[in-house]
Amino acid sequence: MISDMQRRDLRHVWHPCSQMKDYEEFPPIVIKSGKGIYLYDENGKAYIDAVSSWWVNLFGHANERISDALAEQARQLEHVIFANFTHEPAVRLAEKLARITPEGLTKVFFADNGSSAVEVALKMSFQYHKQKNKPNKTRFLALSNAYHGETLGALSVGGVGLYNEVFQPLLLQTIRAEGPDCFRCPFQERPESCNTPCISIIEEKLKRHREELSAVIIEPLIQAAAGMKMYPPGYVSRLKQLCSQYDVHLIADEVAVGFGRTGTMFACEQAGITPDFMCLSKGLTGGYLPLSVVMTTDEIYDAFYDEYETMKAFLHSHSYTGNPLACRVALEVLQIFEDEKYIEQIQDKGAYMKELASQVFSGQPHVGEYRQTGMVGAIELIQDKATKEPFPSEERVGYQIYKIALEKGLLLRPLGNVLYFMPPYVISKEEIQSMIMIANESIQQYLERRQDQLKVLKK
């Protein structure tokens, strides 16, 4: 039975990341409210928001501290033009970000979503080289299966065919290097012990294209949309060395992994590096409002700083640049991190989640690997454990299990044959246990159903 709200939605709304025809059988779930890790639909059914509403939520839905900060700011100043004007929430946020991000990232450029932050970093890198009399440095190097957002520049550096294949004629000609693949490692290494021989693949590209390369862009530690591919920090630190050696910028796209997701405030900390640009968004406002920033160095900033007539200014603006509501909310988020020692909590809860999930999922015949970094967990489903043969993509195994889990009140997400969760940090250990158990039951139920169908087909 389809509800009135669902019917009205389908008449006018076009949803992201969806084939709308799928909604005929599976209409959108109408969420009325949220509290903590739970979302409640129009019938009062509760769902554990195990994907933090796509990485953005950190401290639960309808968080009182954040909601109060937002309401207070809304009564004082909701927005003001950001060219020639400023305000306290933006200034304080910039100060704080400069303090907590890796040493040397002193300048903050505001935008309003992750893709825009990526656009800003690409444009700044390009213009920097132009102004430093290196006009041939016009290209970007990115990893295969990278995901950096879906505006045209961001899609250009992205490598997931599902998103950019159809738009190829419109995109920049990005140079691509095969990235680390620790589950199917071509060098037969184990992530715990490896010294990243796969760096040689990107090194070769850097060497060959150094004259024309402006920047390399990566998602440090976790290539999310690629299927939650996780790789060791050593790769990031070696890449940073290579970038310096070949005079190419490094853009760390921490839009997804920033703000504690990998177990440290920023993923780059684990590699002990300062990139030339760091893109941040998603968790920045704890899931409240769209906001992003690009952090960069004095060296980059100085290349744009000159008399007006030199035309060296960086021209990139959004109507909502530096929105005071979003900045005030971000400040509250960072204050909560400090007051409640969330990095320690993430490490503690993450360790518990990893131990339990590894134990539970390792018993499943079709789980090739359970992997986890910080509080991001991923289950890779495979047809055959010995050969690591994947399920055929037309079976949409991940999507089928996702639907079963939803019926059971758990919102996780599929990426092909990979299921993943990264719950809000306010989750309790009991709730972590429920999340893992429901995920496991859903996988089991799907596989049993599949087995039965195969039997019928054989008869």
Ligand X SMILES: *Cc1c(COP(=O)(O)O)cnc(C)c1O
For residue 163, the minimal CB distance to ligand X (Å) is 11
Look at the alpha carbons of 292, 334, 72, 426 in this order and tell me if their dihedral is positive or negative: positive
- Residue 448 CA to residue 401 CA, distance in Å, equals 12
Shortest approach of ligand X to residue 285 CB, angstroms?
Answer: 11
- Angstrom CA distances, 359 to 363, 364, 381, stand at 7, 10, 16
Query: Is residue 119 part of the contact set for ligand X (CB under 6 A)?
Result: no
Note the Cα 178 to chain centre separation in Å. Answer: 19
Q: How far is CA 67 from CA 33, 36, 289, 303, 380, in A?
A: 14, 13, 11, 40, 37
373 sits near ligand X (criterion: CB under 6 A)? no
Decide if residue 413 touches ligand X (CB under 6 A).
no
Question: Shortest gap between Cβ of 96 and ligand X (angstroms)?
Answer: 21
Told to check if 281 binds ligand X by CB under 6 A, we report: yes
Question: Could you tell me which of 149, 211, 151 has the C-alpha nearest to residue 175?
Answer: 211
The verdict on 250 binding ligand X (CB under 6 A) reads no
Closer of 182 and 224 to ligand X (Cβ): 224
d(CA 349, CA 426): 10
Segment near ligand X (CB under 6 A), from 113-121, 208-216, 264-272, 407-415? 113-121
Rule CB under 6 A: say whether 273 interacts with ligand X.
Answer: no
State the minimum distance, in angstroms, from the CB of residue 415 to ligand X.
12
Comparison of 49 and 219: residue with beta carbon closer to ligand X: 219
Stretch that binds ligand X, among 89-97, 109-117, 312-320, 354-362 (CB under 6 A): 109-117
In this structure, what token pair is assigned to residue 30? 């109408």
Residue from 36, 89, 114, 275 touching ligand X (CB under 6 A): that is 114
Query: Which member of 49, 219, 332, 369 binds ligand X (CB under 6 A)?
Result: 219
Site for ligand X in 284-343 (CB under 6 A): none
Q: Smallest distance from the beta carbon of 50 to ligand X, in angstroms?
A: 17
Q: Least distance (Å) from ligand X to the CB of residue 409? A: 25
Q: Which is nearer to ligand X, 118 or 357 (CB)?
A: 118
Q: Which residues within the stretch 143-162 sit at the binding site for ligand X (CB under 6 A)?
A: 147-149
C-beta of 14 vs 308, nearer to ligand X: 14
Nearest to 320 by CA among 70, 82, 75: 82
Residues linked to residue 372 through DSSP beta bridges, in sequence order? 377
For residue 380, what are its two tokens? 């890779």
User: In angstroms, what is the minimal distance from the CB of 118 to ligand X?
Assistant: 6
23, containing H or E segment: helix 22-25
The reply to whether 255 sits near ligand X by the rule CB under 6 A is yes
Check residue 140 for interaction with ligand X (CB under 6 A).
no
Minimum CB–partner distance for residue 457 and ligand X (Å)? 39
Tokens 């909590």 map to which residue?
Answer: 345
For position 49 contacting ligand X by CB under 6 A, the verdict is no
Shortest gap between Cβ of 115 and ligand X (angstroms)?
A: 3
Q: Is residue 417 a contact point for ligand X (CB under 6 A)?
A: no
Binding ligand X (rule: CB under 6 A), the pick from 119, 253, 276, 431 is: 253
Strand partners, 413: 420
Nearer Cβ to ligand X (225/436): 225
C-alpha Rg value of the chain to the nearest Å: 23
**Does residue 115 belong to the site contacting ligand X (CB under 6 A)?**
yes
* Pairing of β 292-296 and β 229-230: unpaired
Q: Residue 150 burial by CB count (10 A; 0-12/13-18/19+): exposed, middle or buried?
A: middle
Measured from the CB atom, the residue of 287 and 368 that comes closer to ligand X is: 287
Sign of the alpha-carbon dihedral angle for 83, 87, 92, 95: positive
Q: Which residues contact 250 (CB under 8 A, 6 or more apart)?
A: 215, 216, 218, 239, 240, 243, 273, 275, 276, 277
Q: Is 393 exposed, middle or buried (0-12, 13-18, 19+ CB in 10 A)?
A: exposed
C-beta closer to ligand X: residue 115 or 264 = 115
Among 58, 69, 90, 118, binds ligand X (CB under 6 A): 118
CB 39 within 8 A of CB 298: no
Find, among 212, 269, 205, 207, the residue nearest to 236 by Cα: 269
Contact flag: residue 113 with ligand X (CB under 6 A):
yes
Residues that bind ligand X (CB under 6 A): 113-115, 118, 147-149, 219, 224, 253, 255-256, 281
